Amino acid sequence: MKVQRAQLRRPRAMGQVPGSLGAQLEERYFRQKVKLGEGSFGTVWRAVDRQSGETVAIKQVDKESMPRRGVNRQDIEREITIMRIFNHANIIKLLDTFEDPMTIYLALEYCDGGDFGDKIRQQGLDLDEKELAMWVRQMCDAVCVLHTQNICHRDIKPENFMVHN
């Protein structure tokens, strides 16, 4: 995970004036139809920052499905607050946030290598011990940074560690 300051902003509804506060998500990011993953908080899509050309991940949280997933507004706000606290090489950066009446969007740093669980499944026993040790060290560093701020992750598993090539 990695972090940067952001404000919760509302993306454009159909027919809104370009440049308005609500149009900022679509103005800033081109959301591709590439699903990167799905978790208890929402679905993550690949997107491109129209200003920098950088690939980003957009976490999309459907407000209507939040209660079914056991997620409430405070959970999302807590995640955003926590992500804003950290600026660490092994913690995904929160780049920006947006909101419309149906959805909350989090623009996140994109990790092009998938998740650590995928790496384990792909490489299995062929994992290089030195490379594995490097990954585990980075995971421990990230958890240690959280713990220094009295934050407990509560869902540590290979699928929640992203790999950046």
pLDDT digits (tens, 9 = 90+) for 96-144: 999 988 899 999 999 999 999 998 999 888 889 998 899 999 999 999 9
Measured in degrees and rounded to the nearest 5, phi and psi for residue 119 equal -60, -45
| Between 2 and 64, the higher pLDDT residue | 64
Single-letter residue type at 58: I
Q: pTM for the full model?
A: 0.81
Which amino acid is located at 22 in the chain?
G
pLDDT at 17 over 90: no
Over range 9-37, report the average pLDDT: 65
pLDDT at 11: 41
Q: Are 27 and 10 in contact (CB under 8 A)?
A: no
Specify the DSSP class assigned to residue 162. B
pLDDT band for position 23 (cuts 50, 70, 90): low
Question: How many CB atoms are located within 10 Å of the residue 105 CB?
Answer: 24
| 8 Å CB contact between 58 and 45 | yes
Decide if 99 contacts 105 (C-beta within 8 A). yes
Listed residue (6, 13, 20) closest to 101, CA to CA: 13
Please, what is the average pLDDT of the chain? 84
Residue linked to tokens 């940067």: 4
Active site residues: 155
Q: How confident is the model at residue 4 (pLDDT cuts 50, 70, 90)?
A: very low
pLDDT at residue 45 above 90? Answer: yes
State the Cα–Cα distance between residues 48 and 57, nearest whole angstrom: 8
